[in-house]
Structure 1
């Protein structure tokens, strides 16, 4: 569900993070934890789903230490160092194309820029490490404001998270574009009057930003 942007009213751009700014592989963490635990991947995926580890962490119901301890308990390995768990968890993040960051930086002079992501603190720290290593600004420096699910205790596609962003940043929905790779997230934003753009392969965010 993709709307054509009305550039005559456009003042604000809200970006998703995963598969919009940085490519991700959602299957990688489970695959890597399965290898570490010497368990079948399907079994680890079932455990993950049953206990909603991902959602609990990304909505801030558990913190970093509780998340890591939960992983140790569920996969029955209390010897794993924090770094081992963080590294496996961060395999979801693929190489970040620097052109996307450069294009977003160019847009700062014309639009108010925001980030809205279902994510976790471990992932955000890693993305910022990658950006710093590329001599680029951190996410918090790149955008006027960042809205992380674990901070606001809400997740897309809940309408409440979009209302929260609009209210907190003082944005008018119709003057705001939202770029996300998830159809449900796009639908929820569009229903609130936001100009919602579904970023879908083989296109990347750069294609959608060409003419604004």
Structure 2
């Protein structure tokens, strides 16, 4: 049901706007290295790889060197690493972009994503191939990215920073994310939320807002 107080909508990227399949990346690195996927996941988790890269602690070069070192593949090219990392990014249905453009006529729209620079570069390529729109910045007033902010969801500070920087009131703001912990954290500071759960998409969740 539509919240009549809402003036601003913040979107997550993965599995909200852009379809993703996270385990595909670890399988891609397993295929490159000849290791089991479970071993790759253990390496990533023990070294907190996602958090390091997605909060900007690890640079693109640092990330690639980490992969080469941990997988014992010193001659692995940047392109091969990026392709494997990006393999979890699937498609971006054009009808979701159509919805965003329609919503933008009535609401201030923002993106808030836990992501890395390599993924954003690829996401923009997928967006352009699907819709002709060159970058995510063309769809939102501001694109907030964890690796640029030095914070990641569900840290409450990232939501507070978005509200402060954009000049938003929590009670006038709706946030959509596929991760329950991220939703809960935003709710704690008064942001209205929608937990996006496949196979339902934002087209259904926001149909009352797009009229």
Could you say which TM-score interval applies, normalised by the shorter chain? over 0.9
The aligned residue for residue 137 of structure 2 is 140
The aligned residue for residue 200 of structure 2 is 203
How much has 1:62 moved relative to structure 2? 0.9
- Of 152, 174, 177, the match for 2:174: 177
The aligned residue for residue 23 of structure 2 is 27
1:109 aligns with 2:116: no
How much has 1:137 moved relative to structure 2? 4.4
- TM-score, structure 1 normalization: 0.96
* Residues 5 and 177 in structure 1, CA contact (< 8 A), matched pair in contact too: no
Measure the CA separation in 2 of the matches of 1:137 and 1:9: 32
How much has 1:108 moved relative to structure 2? 0.9
2:92 is paired with a residue whose SS is: coil
Aligned CA distance change for structure 1 residues 57 and 128 (closer, same or farther; 3 Å): same
* C-alpha RMSD of the superposition: 0.9
How much has 1:48 moved relative to structure 2? 0.9
Query: Structure 2 unaligned runs (5+)?
Result: none
- Residue by residue over 1:61-115, the C-alpha shift from the partner in whole angstroms, topping out at 9 and shown as x without a partner, is 0110110000100111011110000000001111111110111011111000000
1:156 is paired with a residue whose SS is: coil
Q: How does 1:157-196 map to 2 (within 5 A)?
A: 157-196=154-193
How much has 1:210 moved relative to structure 2? 0.5
2:200 is paired with a residue whose SS is: coil
1:150 aligns with 2:137: no
How much has 1:5 moved relative to structure 2? 4.2
1:29 is paired with a residue whose SS is: helix
Matched pairs, number = 208
Measure the CA separation in 2 of the matches of 1:132 and 1:39: 34
Measure the CA separation in 1 of the matches of 2:72 and 2:48: 17
The aligned residue for residue 126 of structure 1 is 122
1:196 is paired with a residue whose SS is: strand
The aligned residue for residue 88 of structure 2 is 92
How much has 1:200 moved relative to structure 2? 0.8
- Residue by residue over 1:5-29, the C-alpha shift from the partner in whole angstroms, topping out at 9 and shown as x without a partner, is 41x2110000000000011111011
Measure the CA separation in 2 of the matches of 1:203 and 1:34: 31
* Residues 178 and 189 in structure 1, CA contact (< 8 A), matched pair in contact too: yes
Measure the CA separation in 2 of the matches of 1:21 and 1:131: 10
